[in-house]
Structure 1
Amino acid sequence: MDRHLSGPQLARLVAIAPGARPYYRVLAQAVRSLLLDGRLSPRMRVPAERHLADALGVSRTTVTAAYDLLREQGYLESRQGAGSWTVLPDAASMGANNPWITSGDDGMLPLHAAAPLAISTLPSAIAFAGEQYPRYTLGMGYDPLGIAPLRQAIAARYTAQGLATRPAQILVTTGAQQAIHLVTTELLSRGDPIVLESPTYPHAVDLARLRGARIIPVGIPDGGWDLELLTSAMRQSAARLAYLIPDFQNPTGHLMDDATRAGVVGAARRYGTTLLVDETWRELAIDEVPDTAPLAAFDTDGRVISIGSASKLWWGGLRIGWIRTTAAMVRRLAVLRAAVDIASPLFEQLVVTRLFEDIEDARAERRRTHGASRDALVAALRARMPDWGFAVPKGGGSLWVRLESPSATALTDAASCHGVRLAPGPWFGADGTLEGRLRLPFTQSPQVLAEAVDRIAEARVRGAYGARPAQPLTPAL
């Protein structure tokens, strides 16, 4: 550690306004902001307490209190005889005081999004990408299909799961959402029917509407998919496309068994339906679950198109996804995506390539962290909202909660006044229903979830939601 700041240098950087109180907290906040904004690097030695106190014209006790607070928050480390230096804390341990978990600049806790914190191996993968990046400057700098090492890693993962796959069958995309967009754009025309689960991933509904498709919703019972309902929906609508989430379904958390998977693919073959299968949550088992094959393992004629994403297993900020389909369809989709962004960012592809090498370690870490968060959320809800019902999923990232009345939108409005963003049930439906449901993700730390549940409970007591029973809302026509 050879970089350091003198007392006068740090005093100029913090630029604390005269009269700021309490001074030690303002000083700690200023140093933290410098670090989070990138103006102060991690592993930089800060001046001794007395040197900074002299430069600021305050007492040494004040600087000591500021340094103690920074150490408590995880932004400063010290060792006897070696001084103190800046660090970035582990995001999962920061609780509700983590400035990066909030929605924008308003301090809202983001329980509207099931986006996980970064995996612990991400920094080393970023360092690997930085080492590899210069080699790629000798070439064109982008590949519309995705860089070869990443496509090989994705194909190898499918093969290891029992679905033989060649790199030519993989198209790397800028997130799973772009993958859904490309497939729906290629296969759906205005007025075409598309089968969607209800509830389902909200952006799939948005994209179906964007294409002008005719949405055929199929409800998912509390116990999981009803094969007869899915089959009859495909037969009666002559659906061109069906979008399914068989692995820890978003938002219900259900896991489709192999018998149902085989039945769905068989029905799609009989009725001429292409299956767009979202496997974004596939790697996120928490408890022991039966081994299930990828849905495409039951495919015999190339009608199952699978998509995946780096965002749920490794980090929400990695906007890298992929499509597994036939080599011919990969080429068609690559031509289509050229009108959007030509290729996904090289650096992020290199990061994900490295992360695939330790995928089992990542899955084990998520089992620990998501398991602890899920259990904390379940305990908090049972203690504070015992009249809410839910099944505890064995994986995925959220609880699908049944409220005591059809009042999800009213509760969402009340909770926002108490600093929590929520995802009401109607977001996940295509027809204005699901007002009695709420999705609560457990992708944040246990501390954040406990704080969020406390705020939601306060909203029920103090807000308009808690003042009187909410009335059912009439869906928009």
Structure 2
Amino acid sequence: MSTSLAAPASTLPPVHRRLSAPALGALITGWQTEGPAYVALADAVRGAVLSGTVAPHTRLPSERDLAGALGVSRTTTAAAYAALRERGFVTSRTGVGTVAVLPRPTRRAQPRWCGGDAPVPVGVEPPDDLVDLGQAAPAAPPQLHAAYGRALEALPDYLSGRGYEPLGLQPLREAIAHRLTERGTPTTPDQVLVTTGAQHAISTIAQSVLGPRDRVVVQSPTYAHGIEAMVGRGARVVGFPVGAGLPGDGPGFDVALFESTVRAATPRLAYLIPDFHNPTGYSLTPDERAEVRRIALRHRVTVIGDETLSDIALDGPAPEPITGDGSATSHLLTVGSASKTFWGGLRVGWVRAHPDVVAHLARTRAASDIATSVLEQLAVTELLARREEVLAERLPLLRSQRDLLRSAVTTAVPSWRVASPAGGLSLWIDLGRPLAHALTAAAAVRGVVINPGPSLTPDGGASSRVRLTFAPDAEAIGRAVPRLAAAWEHVAG
């Protein structure tokens, strides 16, 4: 195979962090499979890089140190590193060591697979029909095109202005406030800040609240990019476990544990997903929501309630809002988005908070993003007016895809334990063995992208769990599951 995708020594990227041999070994627990040991080790490290568990520009341990930590020969680690260099996942230089990188595509690169433009492993020809069960992003609804048409008709009314509305367009803020009021939390437009997606909203709050080494409490597992937003501010992330309703999981949300974690960690911020939690699907009960509000006020900790998935109620009605009657606004902020209800390509999200907090967040966002696109805001305004129509088509389709994926997976691999979430977009699967990274790598080789559990936790735990999203259509699910079963047979014997 050509090695044209590997970074030459002269372009070796800067080293942002170092990873010891024991630490790398802990991240790829369960990497051993049948077949050559160096191939299995290379697959596990590649899977860790693809999933983000090992970040690009991380200096990896030496061949000798890694061999000692894993209890294998240096020949094995040297061959694994050589395979990774050939495939473009590491690059080396004397005096610097071996550094993890993401492959750089060339004009001769093959179609995207493994979650990126990765070169094909030796002796393996991945399918060109990649199935992404890792990104929970439904396709656009049929109403989107017409919504853009109406947005274009309304656009001339805004062309005489500057095009910058740091708080968001007034019609959209009114529509969001109306929707939140309908859900049960009285809201006015001055309590709404429009952002460029939910991730931007979370990052803006983190930038506003956190300083280096401040602590943040999160559910574990949780939304991976939520963790990244906190770590990006230099914060220390403290997780507490959340269950998915499977035997042995423990409670979905342990209020006493949450409060004791807050008391012990004294965090500046807590990040929660109260509705159809990503990835477990658990929703807080009304009593648990009331307790979160009490804890936020009692301990004076700012709590982010991520309501991005609130509309994706597949069994029964959507839960009541975590904000209740809105009286805890000073310490409880919520984040919403058009991405799951409508389409991720809209890049429109929002924050609900006290008006003073909204004004402060608007000043904070100016450093990185002055305002959200006017046309997209107008389109979302139109879609919110037709929200019930969109969901009437979207929810039955997602429900059928959830049931199809769960049935197909449990039939193909009966040993896996799979809960049936009442909402959201993902299945949280217990493999029964700590092979999440190995399975992720083996699935990627076969053209299926999944999320290993450790990439969704702040401490690299959940090594026996993976997340599969049922956002792809039935045809894609039908192609993915046999490949996933073959990948499991390969790693688990």
Where on the TM-score scale, by shorter chain, does this alignment land: which range? 0.7 to 0.9
Q: What's 1:209 paired with?
A: 231
Secondary structure, counterpart of 1:200 in structure 2? coil
- After superposition, residues 12-31 of structure 1 pair within 5 angstroms as none
The 5-angstrom pairing of residues 65-464 of structure 1 reads 107-223=129-245, 224-289=252-317, 291-297=319-325, 299-300=327-328, 302-461=330-489, 463=490
Q: 1:197 to 1:312 in 2, by over 3 A?
A: same
Residue 149 of structure 1 aligns to a residue whose secondary structure is helix
Mean Cα deviation higher: 324-333 or 217-226 = 217-226
TM-score by length of 1: 0.74
Matches of 2:486 and 2:435 in 1, distance apart?
Answer: 16
Residue deviations 1:139-186, cap 9 Å, x none?
A: 111211111110000000011111111101111000000100010111
Structure 2 residue runs without a partner (length 5+): 1-110, 118-127, 246-251
Q: Give the CA deviation at 1:230.
A: 0.5
* Contact map agreement 2:420 2:427 (CA 8 A) in 1: yes
CA deviation after TM superposition for structure 1 residue 348, in Å:
0.8
Give the letter for the 1:361 counterpart: E
The CA deviation at 1:211 is 1.2
Q: Distance in 1 between matches of 2:405 and 2:277?
A: 19
Contact map agreement 1:265 1:299 (CA 8 A) in 2 = no
Contact 1:133 1:347 in 2 (8 A): yes
- How far apart are 1:330 and its partner, in Å? 0.9
Q: Provide, for residues 169-215 of structure 1, a one-character-per-residue CA deviation record: whole Å limited to 9, x for no partner.
A: 11100000010001011111112111010000001111111111121
**Pairwise CA distance, 1:364:** 1.8
Against the structure 1 CA distance between its residues 429 and 216, is the aligned structure 2 distance closer, same or farther, given a 3 Å change threshold? Answer: same
**Structure with greater Cα Rg:** 1
CA apart distance, 1:291: 4.4
2:42 counterpart residue number = none
Partner of 2:44: none
* Aligned-partner residue type, residue 412 of structure 2: R
Question: Structure 2 CA distance, aligned partners of 1:378 and 1:156?
Answer: 36
Higher RCO (CA < 8 A, seq sep 6+): 2
**Which stretches of structure 1, 4 residues or longer, exceed 3 Å deviation after superposition?**
99-107, 296-301
Query: Are the counterparts in 1 of residues 186 and 326 from structure 2 also a CA contact under 8 Å?
Result: no
Report how far residue 130 of structure 1 moved: 1.6
CA RMSD across the alignment = 1.8
SS of structure 1 residue aligned to 2:305: strand
Q: Deviations over 1:377-423 (max 9, x none)?
A: 01101210111102100110000000031101000100111111111
Secondary structure at the aligned position of 1:218 is classed as strand
SS, match of residue 225 in structure 2: helix
- What amino acid maps onto 2:209 in structure 1? L
Deviation for aligned residue 1:297: 3.2
| Code of the aligned partner of 1:317 | G
Write out per-residue CA displacement over residues 77-133 of structure 1, whole angstroms, 9 at most, x where no aligned residue. Answer: xxxxxxxxxxxxxxxxxxxxxx99995676421111111111121111111112112
Contact kept, 8 Å, 1:314 with 1:362, in 2: the verdict is yes
| Rounded Cα–Cα distance in structure 2 between residues aligned with 1:455 and 1:126 | 38
User: What secondary structure sits across from 1:317 in the alignment?
Assistant: helix
Q: Secondary structure at the match of 2:304?
A: strand
Q: CA deviation at 1:263?
A: 0.7
Alignment CA distance shift 1:191-1:412 (3 Å): same
Q: Deviations over 1:6-25 (max 9, x none)?
A: xxxxxxxxxxxxxxxxxxxx
CA contact (8 A) 2:112 2:130 kept: no
Give SS of 1:286's match.
coil
Deviation at 1:235, TM superposition (A): 1.2
1:325 positional shift: 0.3
Q: Post-superposition shift, 1:222?
A: 3.5
Q: 2: distance between equivalents of 1:422 and 1:301?
A: 37
1:274 touches 1:304 (CA, 8 Å); kept in 2?
Answer: yes
User: Do the aligned residues in 1 keep the contact of 2:450 with 2:467 (CA within 8 Å)?
Assistant: yes
How many pairs align?
367
Once the two structures are aligned, what percentage of the paired residues are identical?
Answer: 42
Task: Return the alpha-carbon distance in structure 1 between the equivalents of residues 134 and 426 of structure 2.
Answer: 10
Residues 334-355 of structure 1, C-alpha deviation per residue, up to 9 Å, x if partnerless? 1111111200111111110000
> Closer, same or farther in 2 for the Cα pair 1:154/1:290, shift >3 Å?
closer
Shift of 1:135: 2.2
TM-score, normalised to structure 2, is: 0.72
For 2:176 and 2:474, the matched residues in 1 are separated by 32
Q: Which residue of 1 aligns with 2:92?
A: none
**8 Å contact from structure 2 (residues 114, 445) kept in 1:** no
Shift of 1:221: 2.7
What secondary structure does 1:295 align onto? coil
**Gaps (5+ residues) in structure 1?**
1-98, 469-477
Matches of 2:402 and 2:113, distance apart in 1? 17
The DSSP-based 3-state class of the residue aligned with 1:297 is coil
For the residue of structure 1 that corresponds to 2:325, the secondary structure is: helix
Aligned residue type for 2:232: L
Contact 2:197/2:350 (8 A) holds in 1: yes
Q: Quick one: structure 1 residues 247 and 445, their matched pair in 2 at CA, closer, same or farther if it must change by over 3 Å?
A: same
Distance 1:101 1:257 in 2: 40
Q: Deviations over 1:265-301 (max 9, x none)?
A: 1012111111111000001101114742333536435
